[in-house]
Structure 1
Amino acid sequence: MVKVYGDTVDNETRCKHYHAPVDIIAIKFKCCNKYYPCYKCHEEHEQHQVKRWSEDEFNTEAVLCGVCKRHLTINEYMMTETCPYCDAHFNTRCMFHYHHYFEV
């Protein structure tokens, strides 16, 4: 079982910042190799700067579906609106935050 850090509010990786029904992913931060539900949780719990995943690393499994607990590559996550394993819907508005996690 993967540990998700931050201020989670349930077992599907929702946090105090983002807790809508579709907020069900956690991202492994390259800088610390820890999963957090969002960049705000990372900022509140870590003392280091975020290191973003570069485009040549987008085949890295760095996204966790909070529903089925399966790992997705960054490419898989960015190319879909639902989990390819359990069909749970992801928050499509998360794309506006990609720059916090990925070099886009």
Structure 2
Amino acid sequence: MERTIGGTDVRGVAIDADTRCAHYDTARDVVAIRAACCDTYFACHACHAAVADHEWRVLPRDAFDDPAVLCGACGATLTVREYADCDDACPDCGHAFNPGCKRHWERYFGAR
């Protein structure tokens, strides 16, 4: 499934209008991540595994200043650095992000 959020296409499984998916669907699960392997936004790593035909590749550290995180609430894109510094809320619209997502940091962005 694919949805366009704020002009950005997001892929995944059962994505709602705010990028929640079949795997993560709380009120705060409104972040999509750009996969380095295919330069495509996915609602989560499990969505990528379900719909892509290749392995996930983390964003390299030299791409941390490029757009890589999408707020599903407003469609704003953030760099990895902006996401890391945002205190679990979108800097554009203030919508809360799931603080638990940072437990998956290495899966999306590699070692800190």
Q: TM-score of the superposition, structure 2-length normalised? A: 0.88
SS of residue in 2 equivalent to 1:35:
strand
Q: Which runs of 5+ in 1 are unaligned?
A: none
Question: How far apart, CA to CA, are the structure 2 residues paired with 1:30 and 1:63?
Answer: 12
Give the number of the structure whose residues are more often strand, by fraction. Answer: 2
Deviation, structure 1 residue 97: 0.7
Question: How far apart, CA to CA, are the structure 2 residues paired with 1:77 and 1:103?
Answer: 14
Question: How far apart, CA to CA, are the structure 1 residues paired with 2:59 and 2:104?
Answer: 13
Q: Which runs of 5+ in 2 are unaligned?
A: 1-6
What is the percent sequence identity of the aligned residues? 38
Question: How far apart, CA to CA, are the structure 1 residues paired with 2:15 and 2:109?
Answer: 25
* Equivalent residue, structure 2, for 1:92: 99
SS of residue in 2 equivalent to 1:26:
strand
Question: How far apart, CA to CA, are the structure 1 residues paired with 2:56 and 2:105?
Answer: 13
Q: Structure 1 runs of 4+ off > 4 angstroms?
A: none
Question: How far apart, CA to CA, are the structure 2 residues paired with 1:78 and 1:37?
Answer: 18
* Conserved? CA contact 2:15–2:43, under 8 Å: no
**Among 63, 82, 89, which residue is 1:82 paired with?**
89
Deviation, structure 1 residue 36: 0.5
* Equivalent residue, structure 1, for 2:10: 4
Q: How many equivalent pairs are there?
A: 104
- Counting only pairs closer than 5 Å after superposition, residues 42-57 of structure 1 correspond to structure 2 as 42-57=48-63
Question: How far apart, CA to CA, are the structure 2 residues paired with 1:70 and 1:9?
Answer: 17
* Equivalent residue, structure 2, for 1:34: 40
* Equivalent residue, structure 2, for 1:17: 23
